[in-house]
Amino acid sequence: MFIIRWWRYLRGFVVVTLEGRGVERLLNLAVMRGLGFWDLRREKGIARLSLSVSAFRALRPLVRQARCRLRIRKKVGLPFIKLRLRRRWGLAAGAVLFVAVLYLATAMIWQVRVVGLNQLKEGEILELVEQLGIRRGTWKRGLDLSALAEELPRRNSAIAWAGMRLRGILLEVEIVEHLTGTEMDDRPADLVATRDGLIERVVVIEGRAAVQAGDTVSRGDLLIEGIKSLEEGILEPDDQPPPEEVRARGKVEARVWYEAKEPIRLTGISAALTGRSSSAYFLCLRGGERLLWGPRENPYEGARQKSRHFRWGWRNLYLPVEVRINTFYEMRVERQAVPYDEALRLAREKAEEKLLKTAPGKKSWEQLYFEEYKEKKARWVRAVVETREDIGMVKLRRP
């Protein structure tokens, strides 16, 4: 059926309506002449059908014979599009030019971003990348990113490892620097996972990878083992010495999910001042305070309190007496029904605020989605954010 539709679209067809007393006679004549049509619908003496261009030309003489009125309602298909484009050649040329420019623009690199820097400056790395022949407007086709990334550590000894990957028109350069000075620690250690996640990429600088892309890990699982074994085939299996312990170094990127939930509250509390107030006056001495007049406690069911202090003095001399005035402003607290859409929006905002406190910066969020569910006769919103981060943490093999 799908192929038939496309074939009809490529050849072109028209949608027509037939009116008059001779509609049935006309349809019978068309069938007798072998004129194919489809999508026939009839209502209130009007017949609507679709037929090919050649069948339409053959049907026109039969319309006069059956004394019907024929009207073209729609012209569909590639031949009619070509006809319109011939009349509007400027529009067709503009569309072709737009597609060509878009293809050329996406076939080039227009932005270079450097990530993973600590001590090195971004300008130094961008200068090295430019020396390798990569700058704005460089064609992506034919670039050997692996070879270019291996060249960066050779040109700068502070770089331990470098990687390049294309993301559309963006070239992302990832740098792993050598540890220097007091940061250097050669004690044997492994890299373990700091969080649960799905492994995306493993870059081993030193050690042996214990996981690979696609593996699911939990917090504390081994990622890169801090051992360095001899290459296979150099010695016989029985003659190989025990593996040498090293400090595992590398980067393990994983997709990590953070979650927060918030109830959907369909009732809200609003507070408004009623205009009534009451004040209490206290005389404050060094040893304590004494109520002069007014209520000591809040006399209303709901109120907002405001305190003011008065002290008398002249220049740097002050009396050891102070007057404090507590004013209680009565407030009326009411419960109001909140529309479901508004309550859902507020719950999502609060759930997202919770995620901002637990998940990394919002710039690193790759996907944020919300889920509504019911638990113990209450409706909740669960917010889940997906990030991509380095989950490796150093763990000494022997504390």
- pLDDT tens figures, 55-65: 888 888 888 77
| Domain-located, residue 64 | yes
Same domain (yes/no): 331, 343: no
Q: Is residue 152 part of a domain?
A: yes
Residues 25 and 76 in one domain: yes
CATH code for the domain in which residue 127 is found: 3.10.20.310
Number of domains in the chain: 4
Tokens of 240: 């190989």
At 384 the pLDDT is 93
* 380 lies in the same domain as 348: yes
Task: Please give the residue range of the domain that contains residue 281.
Answer: 269-335
Neighbouring residues of 161: CB distance < 8 A, sequence distance ≥ 6: 153, 175, 176, 203, 205, 250, 251
Same domain, 331 and 351: no
Neighbours of 58 (CB within 10 A): 14
318 shares its domain with 343: no
Percent of the chain with pLDDT over 70: 93
Considering the domain architecture, whether residues 6 and 72 belong to the same structural domain is answered as yes
Kindly state whether residues 148 and 167 are assigned to the same domain.
yes
Q: Which residues contact 144 (CB under 8 A, 6 or more apart)?
A: none
Q: Considering the domain boundaries, does residue 251 fall inside one? A: no
119 is a domain residue? yes
Whether residue 112 sits in one domain with residue 146: yes
| pTM for this model (two decimals) | 0.50
On whether both 344 and 320 belong to a single domain, the answer is no
- The residue assigned the tokens 């040109």 is 155
Write down the pLDDT at residue 185: 65
pLDDT at 24: 81
**Judgement on whether residues 317 and 350 belong to the same structural domain of the protein:** no
Section 245-273 average pLDDT: 87
Is 208 within a domain? Answer: no
The rounded distance, in Å, linking the Cα atoms of 37 and 35 is: 7
Per residue in 201-256, pLDDT tens? 888 888 889 999 999 999 999 999 988 755 544 445 555 567 788 888 888 989 99
Which H/E stretch holds residue 253? Answer: strand 249-263
Question: Which domain CATH number covers 78?
Answer: 3.30.70.260
The arithmetic mean of pLDDT across residues 332-336, rounded, is 79
In this structure, the answer to whether residues 331 and 342 fall within a common structural domain is no
Q: How sure is the predictor about 180, in pLDDT bands with cuts at 50, 70 and 90? A: low
Q: 128, 152, 177 — which closes off a domain?
A: 177
**pLDDT grade for 1, boundaries at 50, 70 and 90:** low
Measured in degrees and rounded to the nearest 5, phi and psi for residue 174 equal: -105, 130
Instruction: Please report which helix (H) or strand (E) contains residue 340, including its range.
Output: helix 340-358
Residue 185, in any domain of the structure:
no
- Structural domain ending residue among the three candidates 133, 160, 177: 177
The pLDDT assigned to 192 comes to: 93
pLDDT at 351: 92
The domain boundary, picked from 126, 151, 177, lies at: 177
pLDDT at 310 over 70: yes
Pairing between β-strand 111-115 and β-strand 170-177 as defined by DSSP bridges: parallel
Is residue 120 pLDDT above 90, yes or no? Answer: no
Kindly state whether residue 166 falls inside one of the protein's structural domains.
yes
Residue 173 lies in a domain: yes
On whether both 358 and 371 belong to a single domain, the answer is yes
Lowest mean pLDDT among 21-30, 190-199, 230-239, 333-342: 230-239
